[in-house]
Amino acid sequence: MDFAQALVHIFDSGGDVGNRGTQGSMLADGDHGRFDTGRSNRTDHTEPKEWRVARSEPNLCVQNSPVAHQRMKRALLVASAGGHWIELCRLEAAFRQWDCQFVSTAGNMAAPLGTRPVLQIKDSSRDNYITMLRSMTQLLRVIRDFRPDLVVSTGAAPGAIALLIGKAIGARTIWIDSIANSEELSLSGRAVRWVADLRLTQWPDLADDRNGISYFGQVL
């Protein structure tokens, strides 16, 4: 099972993040953890009457039925330009059933899937509070307008800001630390500890159950 497939499995499982273990405990043993994507936990699979009516009588107005109000789950995917963006694009297989909005720090970027254009925000770093403030302001607008169910980032600082804002509005959040960080988690990866529902490293030696760092494999 590759990295994207592992994420798909979490989305399809529903429920909570659960056991944040290493690849050996979460994947090989079959306990992949469960990630709450807002799906219903109902065990009664009987089709609602309104759905049967909508299918058998398509011309009948059923605006008040569940069918009329369903929408695809929305995922906001944020990454700085360069390696972070490449790693994020490599995860496109995990989000083919989502309405995705990609955000990056460079212009003229092409989204790996979906029809929404990639939104550009100001790049920022922890050493420049002015650029961080600009990034935060732009991300606040993006998240306010898009209202994501899930926020995902592969780094760097703008992605950490996106997770913070996303968590504040009730979205689920995933941080995927760059493969370049082989000796320790990035500063941004450490900073999002309290706002990331799932933090992933791409190096097995960095996985740490106690600190909530999991390993699913490598994106690249």
Q: Please write the tens of the pLDDT for every residue from 157-182.
A: 999 999 999 999 999 999 999 999 99
Mean pLDDT of 78-103: 96
Cα separation, 169 vs 166, in Å, equals 5
Cα separation, 174 vs 137, in Å, equals 21
Query: CA-based angle 116:119:121, to the nearest 5?
Result: 170
Mean pLDDT of 196-202: 96
What mean pLDDT is reported for the chain? 80
- Confidence class for position 102, pLDDT limits 50, 70, 90: very high
Of all residues in the chain, the percent with pLDDT exceeding 90 is 63
Residue 66 φ then ψ, to 5°: -60, -30
- Confidence class for position 78, pLDDT limits 50, 70, 90: very high
Dihedral (Cα; 196, 200, 201, 203), 10-degree rounding: 160
Mean pLDDT of 61-80: 71
Dihedral (Cα; 214, 211, 179, 106), 10-degree rounding: 110
- pLDDT of residue 149 exceeding 70, the answer is yes
Closest Cα partner for 76 from 190, 203, 164, 200?
A: 164
Mean pLDDT of 122-126: 87
Residue 138 φ then ψ, to 5°: -65, -40
Using DSSP's 3-state secondary structure scheme, residue 173 falls into: strand
Mean pLDDT of 63-72: 56
Q: What is the DSSP letter of 29?
A: T
Question: What is the per-residue pLDDT for 4?
Answer: 78
Strands 119-120 and 198-201, by their bridges, are unpaired
pLDDT 10s digits, 14-65: 644 434 444 433 333 333 333 444 443 333 444 444 434 334 444 443 344 4
Cα separation, 170 vs 135, in Å, equals 20
Question: What is the per-residue pLDDT for 71?
Answer: 81
- Confidence class for position 1, pLDDT limits 50, 70, 90: low
The answer to whether the predicted template modeling score (pTM) of the entire model surpasses 0.85 is no
| DSSP-H helix ranges across the chain | 3-13, 23, 49-56, 66-69, 83-89, 129-146, 157-168, 187-191
